[in-house]
Amino acid sequence: MAALFQSTSMPDRDWWSVLWPDPDALLWQVGIRPGMSVLDLCCGDGYFTGPLAALVDGRIAALDLDPDMIELAKAEVQRRDASVRQWICADATCVAECLDEAVDYVLIANTFHGVPDPIGLAHSVREVLRPDGLFCIVNWHPYPREETMVLGKPRGPRTEMRMSPESVRRVVEAAGFCLLRIVDLPPYHYAAIFQLA
């Protein structure tokens, strides 16, 4: 039975947009370029899906388990006057069974910390990537939660759930990837970008 990963509900837009004031810049920083095909895994309300769809001119699939998130993400994409090739309302671990075509780039942002079987999920991502594809995980740094303040309140997953870049590297490499680079995303995040080994 599919269930939401722990501590992965969509944050309220007020503080999310303060923490991520320029989602377009983030996509550029992690190496997403026009012409690529992309999967936005666990897309949420479309905060990154809209800019992504515009950047890759609709060569994007977006997946979330929560149908309400899919509806919000659709509205966000429409607001950007962009399009998405495939919307998928399903558990992320089933992505290989749902996606129509392999992609150049898989992005999972602000969700990996809650995945109970991260090696299993990385294996599923492998199945949907083209041979020269990239897998990017945007995660909270393992700073104490009380130090990751936005709009006057501590934000993000519980401290003990946060993964260091090194622990992400260990689990994703166990699924047949190798780390390409780490991109720091101040104030509280990093992106770990992998290619197939």
Ligand X SMILES: C[S@@+](CC[C@H](N)C(=O)[O-])C[C@H]1O[C@@H](n2cnc3c(N)ncnc32)[C@H](O)[C@@H]1O
Question: How many residues sit close enough to ligand X to count as binding (CB under 6 A)?
Answer: 19
**Binding test (CB under 6 A) with ligand X, winner from 27, 76, 82, 91:** 91
Give the range of 52-60, 105-113, 162-170, 189-197 binding ligand X by CB under 6 A.
105-113
Residue ranges in 149-188 that form contacts with ligand X under rule CB under 6 A: none
Report the candidate in 8, 22, 17 with the shortest Cα–Cα distance to residue 55. 22
- Residue positions counted in the chain: 197
- Max distance between CA atoms of the chain, in angstroms, equals 44
Interaction between residue 60 and ligand X (CB under 6 A): no
Nearer Cβ to ligand X (43/106)? 43
With binding defined as CB under 6 A, does residue 111 bind ligand X?
yes
Give me the least distance between CB of 58 and ligand X, in Å please: 19
Instruction: Rule CB under 6 A: choose which of 39, 60, 109, 137 binds ligand X.
Output: 109
d(CA 183, CA 110): 15
**End-to-end Cα, the chain, rounded Å:** 32
All residues at 6 or more sequence positions from 137 whose CB lies less than 8 Å from its CB, including other chains: 108, 109, 112, 168, 172, 191, 192, 194
Tokens (6 digits) for 129: 């990537």
Contact pattern for ligand X over residues 9 through 48, marking x by CB under 6 A = -x-------------------------------xxx--xx
How far is residue 30's CA from residue 190's CA, in Å, rounded to a whole number? 10
- The binding site for ligand X (CB under 6 A) comprises 2, 4-5, 8, 10, 42-44, 47-48, 64-66, 69, 91-92, 109-111
